[in-house]
Structure formats: C-alpha cells, structure tokens
A and B are shown apart, each in its own frame.
Chain A
Amino acid sequence: GESVGLHLPTLSVQEGDNSIINCAYSNSASDYFIWYKQESGKGPQFIIDIRSNMDKRQGQRVTVLLNKTVKHLSLQIAATQPGDSAVYFCAEALLGNTGFQKLVFGTGTRLLVSP
C-alpha cells in the first residue's frame, strides 16, 4: 500500500535559521502533495501545496521542493521564528474510486524553534 514517511520526528533549530523538513512518499502515481502545520491544541492548517508537474513552489517564507525521481518532498522555512514551532505533516493525494482525491498523511515532524 501507499505510505508517506518522514526522516526526522523532531527538528530543533535556532530562531533566524532556515529549517528543512523532509518527507518520503512511496506511490509514484500521486499527483498532488500538501504540507500542513499543526500547532498545539489546534487542527492542521494548510501551508502550501504542489502538483506533480512542478518541482518547486514558493510561498511566504516557505518553499516546497518535489523530487519525483526519488519520491521525496521537502518543506523549507526561511528565517524560522518561534511561531513556526509546530508539528508539520506532509500528505499525498491519491485518486479514489469516485475520482475523488483522498489525502494520505505522514506521521509528522515536530519543529522546535529556540530563541
């Protein structure tokens, strides 16, 4: 079956550094990928997405890179701030029986930002 995994369960960085959170996926047919951020006591919030016909997409202070050759996804956060401390999930989209995109989530990486 398909799986989405993360290389590091916890990432600790200093405020102002750049953070890189990695994710491996196993289904080469996945055509859509999303990063979510979950702060303590809250539901996951959408950060950025990327389609399989792209290899890079930039948002505000965040960049997602997609390497389809090795089935690897990464989230880069520039100038990490204490407010970035959270658990980050990657997810891949698979087409279900109804032609409906179902998201499969990874287990998450905790980002800890120290001042």
Chain B
Amino acid sequence: DVKVTQSSRYLVKRTGEKVFLECVQDMDHENMFWYRQDPGLGLRLIYFSYDVKMKEKGDIPEGYSVSREKKERFSLILESASTNQTSMYLCASSLRVFSLKSEKLFFGSGTQLSVL
C-alpha cells in the first residue's frame, strides 16, 4: 500500500513564525499535493507538484510556498504564519496522469496546525 507520511500530527505556532510542514511518500509517485481542510469548506488545493523542482499554484496559494527537492518529499512553507492559517493540512500523492487515465490520490493523516 502507498504510504504518505506527514511529519507532525499536531503543531502549535505563533503569529509571524515560519512554519514547515513535511510530507514523504514511499511509492515513487510523480505528483504531490497540499490541501487544507476547514469545516464547511471541504478540501481546498494550495499547491501541487508534478515533478521534482516543479510546482503549480492551486486554488488558495496566498501565504504559502512549497519545495520539492526530491521526488519523495514535498514541503509546505508558511513564510509568516497568521491565525487564518489555522487548519488541517493534508498531503497527498498520485501517479502521473497521461491522456485520460484516472488519478487516485493517496492522503496522509494530516497535520492540525494552530496559529496563536
């Protein structure tokens, strides 16, 4: 089975801190994603990466950046954390899609980030 591991289950940070959320997958997937999950809003895509050193903005990239130096690792960075970034952050990975082949996302267990 695919394993997507997020480094922290719970994280508490202060406003203005720089925050790193780490994600590692062990199935050699090309694609990796960062979502945030908020009650009543579902999952919203922050950034995704379809190859090493490649990244694309999702629907809500403001206030975030990402890094993909190695295929298995995708980091989400909050340059200066704010209280409205308190949320559950979910990392996911998938095989690259060609033509119209289906894509299944495999998710990590999430990191609950609280910014005080």
Contacts and interface: CB of A to CB of B under 8 A. Distances in A.
Nearest to B31: A100
Contacts of B44: 105
A98 B58 CA distance: 13
Given A96-B56, A101-B97, A32 B103 contact: yes
A43 B90 contact: yes
Contacts of A4: 42
B42 A103 contact: no
Contact of A46 (B43, B100, B104): B104
Contacts of B4: 43
Nearest to A31: B100
Contacts of A105: 35, 42-44
Interface of B: 4, 31, 35, 40-45, 48, 50, 56, 58, 90, 92, 96-97, 100, 102-110
